[in-house]
Structure 1
Amino acid sequence: MKTSQAPPVRVMRVISRVNVAVYRLTGGRVMGTLNGCPICLVTMTGARSGKRITLPLMCTQDGDDVILVASMGGAPKNPPWYYNLKAHPEIEIQLGSHRRAMRAAEADDEQRERLWPVAVRAYPPFAEYQERTTRRIPIFVCSPA
């Protein structure tokens, strides 16, 4: 199996900042999708720093809920934002030009079984990411606050 190496953390931070700025400026019309999967901006509180952080994350809608997949490309550990949402589940999500307060909760086993195929339909590489890792990739259900 061929794996690609992720860009350095500094490069990813710059890309994320640019994505956030352009997304906000255009209401998500530019940099609002990745390979057909919607991107949303998630504003959260850092688990350790306590600072507000906004990240562009792939998302899928499920009714009024927004689904976030903590895949980190199939890395062996969860992305840092996973711990932010666990510590501080009160978040704001911007999808397009619409912002709303939400509360994130990690999907339980039953929810995950239902939502995993929904996430994979929205972004098929999630299935490959799950094959790359031994961890069970977490899914967050973000519901209106």
Structure 2
Amino acid sequence: MTTYDPATVKISPESWVADQARRYEESDGTEATDMKGSPCLLLDYQGWRTGEWRRTVLIYGRSGEDYLIVASKGGAPEHPLWFRSLVANPEVHVRVLGERFTARAEVLTPEEKAEVWPGLVEVYPPYEDYQKSTEREIPVIRLTRV
């Protein structure tokens, strides 16, 4: 396990994600804060195998004070790698615009997902097609400040 230091977090190997994450961070949350018009946050999470801290950019919705993220992976048949890490290590660090905070990640139950799903599809309409294109149930994760 490694100690959390936002300056040493490993950024996603996907070049477009890495570019967006760098611009978001370097601008102190004033640039690269959306994806195709949908709001984005930076999620720093601890890898389930290595314990190393990693960063990705994710679209988010809201539920009261909590943030909601979707493990869609574009409707792929498998979950994104970061999802397994959140299940194993639910304490995460989040940046939304200029604010940074620690949060706890919790996978919503099917009933909880059904309540918030329409709002998430409103934030990012392709989620609906992603769910239709895969047999797996796409998880929704609540990020609650700690």
**TM-score normalized by structure 2?**
0.88
Which runs of structure 2 are paired with 1:1-145 in the superposition (5 Å)?
A: 13-145=14-146
2:100 and 2:135 map into 1 onto residues whose CA distance is 35
SS at match of 1:29: coil
1:14 and 1:133 map into 2 onto residues whose CA distance is 25
Amino acid at match of 1:127: E
Q: CA deviation at 1:14?
A: 2.2
Q: CA deviation at 1:15?
A: 2.0
- Which 5+ residue runs of structure 1 have no aligned equivalent? 1-10
Amino acid at match of 1:112: K
Amino acid at match of 1:40: L
Aligned residues: 135
Q: CA deviation at 1:12?
A: 5.5
- Which 5+ residue runs of structure 2 have no aligned equivalent? 1-11
Amino acid at match of 2:99: H
1:58 and 1:108 map into 2 onto residues whose CA distance is 20
**TM-score normalized by structure 1?**
0.89
SS at match of 2:48: coil
1:5-40 residue CA offsets vs partner (Å, 9 max, x unmatched) = xxxxxx962222221111012233221101211110
SS at match of 1:78: coil
SS at match of 2:144: strand
Q: CA deviation at 1:110?
A: 1.8
1:74 and 1:29 map into 2 onto residues whose CA distance is 29
1:73-128 residue CA offsets vs partner (Å, 9 max, x unmatched) = 00001000110100000001100010111000000122101111111010000001
Moved more, 109-118 or 70-79: 109-118
2:87 and 2:142 map into 1 onto residues whose CA distance is 12
1:118 and 1:28 map into 2 onto residues whose CA distance is 24
Q: Percent identity?
A: 30
1:41 and 1:144 map into 2 onto residues whose CA distance is 14
1:17 and 1:121 map into 2 onto residues whose CA distance is 26
SS at match of 1:118: helix
